[in-house]
Structure 1
Amino acid sequence: MRVIGLISGTSVDGIDAALVEVTGQGYNLTVSLVDGLTWPYPAELQQQILALCAGEAISLEHLARVDDAVAHSFADAAQALMAQAGAAELVASHGQTVFHRPVGRPALPHQGAIQLGYTVQLGRGAAIAQRVNLPTVSDFRQADIEAGGEGAPLAPVLDLCLLSHPTEHRCVQNLGGIGNVAYLLPWDRQGNPPKVIGWDTGPANSLIDIAIHTLSEGSLTYDIDGAWAAQGNPCLPLVNQWLEHPYFTQPPPKSTGRELFGWDFFQQCQRDAQAQGLSAVDLVATLTEFTAASIAHEYRAFLPALPDRVLVGGGGSHNPVLMARLQAQLPESTVQPTDTVGLSASYKEAIAFAVLGYWQRQGFPSNLPAVTGAIGPRVLGRLSDPLLSP
């Protein structure tokens, strides 16, 4: 089946679209990337999304308009990819997360009630289905949340299927806006798979991107090739101070987003940097070091053993300074992009949701309860069929 996977991450830097050919049943899959592209948001829509992520209050009518606009941008990405690479049979869209409250965050107190997480992804699947005239699977996180899980991260199941190794202990680290990890025990992909450990490690590109956008007065959206970080000197006392955030002592399963590591956190980091007399490039270098150090801290705190190899996907895999600092923080492991083992680092998350959509059509449970904390396996995603022509 030819499936288009769509996702825009917490960096809100565009929609990643991947057309993949998927065959097989359950975990026994063959997945081949046909083509991919990154589709930019219109500038005004991107700013509206970022404002929502920062907690801006809007009317429900305005929210509905933004929701539809996101769906149409996702449909534009799918149509552009099909024009470039040929037709698809199914679309699987993660949408755009604008709010995420995992289990355990403060909610309304109801004595004796089980608190469930809460998550909001804009870009409703039904609107995408009408635009592209293809069945569309969306709302992937909801079933896991309703089973008591965090609803995130969801990509580790793809890592299990495609990146496990017969003899190596591996970590697959995503560096999107937020980082997440899957710890893979050796597996020859025969028989029942081993238990996967995974969670959100904390910030990846989110704080660096906010810093670059702020310090460049909006002329840049990310640290291209790590150029700003390469010119600065990290302030290690600030790195250690920021690592005292309570998230880094919370055991997995856990997930996070811009609600913790977004604009408010960056503003505190900026104040701390000003108090230390840091320059703009020093602040970016310090945030880059903090990102790498937080990942290494999470590994040392919560993994049973450090991995032989760390395979990195997401936009952060293209930042040579961040990759070098991650390698320096984990000298016991080999740190490489997932491209080195045949899985596109740029489109890994989009590929993952294409596979999740494929599994939804098979009725195959695709959450990993050990990763998300759900009470059991669930089929993820909700199908929207295009309306019949009158």
Structure 2
Amino acid sequence: MKNQIESLYQKSKKEEKLIIGLMSGTSMDGLDIALSSFKGSGSETEIKLLHFKTGDYTDNFRQQVKSIFSKKTVDLEMVCLMNEQIALTHAKLINEAIAEWGYHNEDIDFIASHGQTIYHAPKSLHGQEGLPNGTLQIGDGDHIAVNTGIITLSDFRQKHIAAGGEGAPLAVYGDYLIFSKQGEDRIMLNIGGIANYTYLPGDLSASKVFSTDVGPGNTLMDQYVQQHFEGLYYDKDAAIALAGKVNVQLLKELLANDFFAADFPKTTGPELFSMDYLEKAQKASGTAALAKEDVMATLCHFSAQGIIGSIKRALRDLSKPVLYLSGGGMHNPLLFSLLQAELPEVVFKTTSDLEVNPDAKEAVLFALLANETICGSQIYFGERQGVPSVCMGKISLPK
């Protein structure tokens, strides 16, 4: 143990660290693996993305995860087994990526693993008096560390909740350090399963920074495609949605949820925006027999309206902000065109313009959180509810 602690200490003092960040989101389309070099910490952080890939999941593995994902009632034995199985699968994909990129495992200083969220339960969603915010990500860090031989940081969201947050979104911490720029108001919009954004003021004031979930990004569209279009996991190029027409009654019912009027910051997940949510909206709007293409068109507009409404609320005091897109949803041409049409005052770019692959952004951000913890740093955002100034991530040693 002493040698392991000494190794951790020596790595923390290195001028340049190589850190692999991992992200497996609610879409479960694979494991995002990003290798980045880090110099410094805090506001002095210098990051260079060296390599990125998405490791493919097998259909069987994906179905195993889905069997325990976002369900109030699950097989606890399966939860127990998948905690290990997810970690072993991720470790295998990491080892393959390291070899593919021409490195040896001993070249890598740290792994930052988000794990796989299987349930997210902030008070605003569970509504059970006397119970705290909760979230659960599985894919045990010890198993990753042992099977890669690399010190691993994991389970980042628990510290956020312990310190008064809701466990999400965590993007604010990395966005502020990596992407803030004097003189430019920025909105960092990530459209994953759930859409969220971080507002970065041009005066660099940390007390004005905030990050919030805004509603569904891809989650409802992906769930619907997987349920109704055999062999498809998502609506590539919005082909299905573009073949349909928006149903105004259904769209109105989908938007009739208190979440959209709630104050920022807020968090949500597929626990709310599920197939059950859609079915109830269809029943209430009398659209249960709606053509599948029309449902997809409406779901795409639903995601767009959630994003547009929340950004317009943030823009009240801004003249010409720049919005930087990332996440899988940015590749949806219909969704992107809807955002552009409804937000003409916004300049649209992607994080590629900031030298970060948009698909790699979340994995890079978790690597940054690991770097901050290893360096002993914490980012201060003022005394605000929901944005605690803490280091995050539990440390697992390989031996």
Contact 1:116 1:146 in 2 (8 A): no
> Which one of 189, 210, 215 corresponds to residue 197 of structure 1?
210
Structure 1 match to 2:5: none
Establish whether residue 77 from structure 1 lines up as the match of residue 90 from structure 2: no
Shift of 1:246: 1.0
What is the deviation of 1:211? 1.4
In the other structure, the counterpart of 1:173 is 189
8 Å CA contact retained: 2:23, 2:33: yes
SS of the counterpart of 1:104? helix
TM-score normalised by length of structure 2: 0.89
For 1:369 and 1:280, how far apart are their aligned partners in 2?
47
Say whether residues 1:313 and 2:326 are aligned partners: yes
| Offset of residue 72 of structure 1 | 1.1
Equivalent residue number for residue 96 of structure 1 = 116
> In 2, Cα distance between the equivalents of 1:172 and 1:371?
20
| Structure 1 counterpart of 2:336, one-letter code | M
Query: Which residue matches 2:201?
Result: 185
Per the TM alignment, residue 280 of structure 1 is displaced from its structure 2 partner at its CA by: 1.5
2:63 counterpart (47, 58, 62)? 47
Aligned-partner Cα distance in 2 for 1:119–1:65: 18
Query: For this pair of structures, how many residues does the alignment match?
Result: 378
Correspondences of 1:291-330 after superposition (within 5 Å):
291-302=303-314, 304-305=316-317, 308-330=321-343
- How far the C-alpha of 1:281 sits from its partner, in A, is 1.5
> What is the aligned partner in structure 2 of residue 244 from structure 1?
256
Q: Which amino acid aligns with 2:170?
A: L
| Cα distance in structure 2, aligned partners of 1:106 and 1:336 | 36
Establish whether residue 156 from structure 1 lines up as the match of residue 172 from structure 2: yes
Structure 1 residue 235: Cα displacement: 2.1
| In structure 1, C-alpha distance between the alignment counterparts of 2:265 and 2:250, rounded to whole Å | 27
* TM-score, length basis structure 1: 0.91
Question: Contact 1:4–1:18 (CA<8 Å) still a contact in 2?
Answer: yes
2:3 corresponding residue in structure 1: none
In 1, distance between residues paired with 2:344 and 2:220? 24
Say whether the 8 Å CA contact 2:68–2:78 is kept in structure 1: no
3-state SS of the aligned residue for 1:91?
Answer: strand
Superposition pairs for residues 11-22 of structure 1, below 5 Å?
Answer: 11-22=27-38
Separation in structure 2 between the aligned mates of residue 84 and residue 367 of structure 1, nearest angstrom:
38
The 1:324–1:22 alpha-carbon spacing in structure 2 relative to 1, beyond 3 Å, is same
Q: 1:43 & 1:367 partners in 2: Cα distance?
A: 42
Answering whether residue 74 of structure 2 is matched by residue 58 of structure 1, we say yes
5+ residue gaps in structure 2? 1-16
Q: Does 1:268 align with 2:284?
A: no
What's 1:364 paired with?
Answer: 377
Return the alpha-carbon distance in structure 2 between the equivalents of residues 304 and 41 of structure 1.
Answer: 42
For 1:175, the aligned partner's letter is: I
Matched, 1:348 2:348: no
Contact in 1 for aligned 2:328/2:359 (Cα 8 Å)? yes
* Partner residue, 2:14: none
Match of 1:98, SS state, is strand
TM-fit CA distance, 1:11: 1.0
Aligned to 1:338: 351
- Deviates further, 135-144 or 152-161: 152-161
2:9 match:
none
RMSD, matched Cα? 2.2
Determine the structure 2 residue equivalent to 1:32.
48
- Is the partner of 1:214 in helix, strand or coil? helix
Q: Which whole-Å deviations, capped at 9, do the CAs of 1:324-359 have from their partners, x for residues lacking one?
A: 111112121122322133221010000000111111
Report deviation, 1:271: 4.6
Q: How far apart are residue 73 of structure 1 and its match?
A: 1.6
User: Alpha-carbon deviation of 1:108?
Assistant: 4.6
Q: Give, in whole Å, the separation in 2 of the partners of 1:53 and 1:273.
A: 28
2:293 equivalent in structure 1: 281
Task: Say yes or no: does 1:121 pair with 2:140.
Answer: no
**8 A Cα contact 2:206 2:380, kept in partner:** no
Separation in 1, partners of 2:248, 2:347: 23
Q: CA deviation at 1:153?
A: 0.6
1:203-222 equivalences in 2 (<5 Å): 203-217=216-230, 219-222=231-234
2:172 and 2:198 in contact (8 A); partners too: yes
Change (3 A) 1:368 1:286: farther
Q: 2:200 corresponds to which letter in structure 1?
A: L
Corresponding residue for residue 11 of structure 2: none
Quick one: structure 1 residues 369 and 152, their matched pair in 2 at CA, closer, same or farther if it must change by over 3 Å? farther
SS at match of 1:53: coil
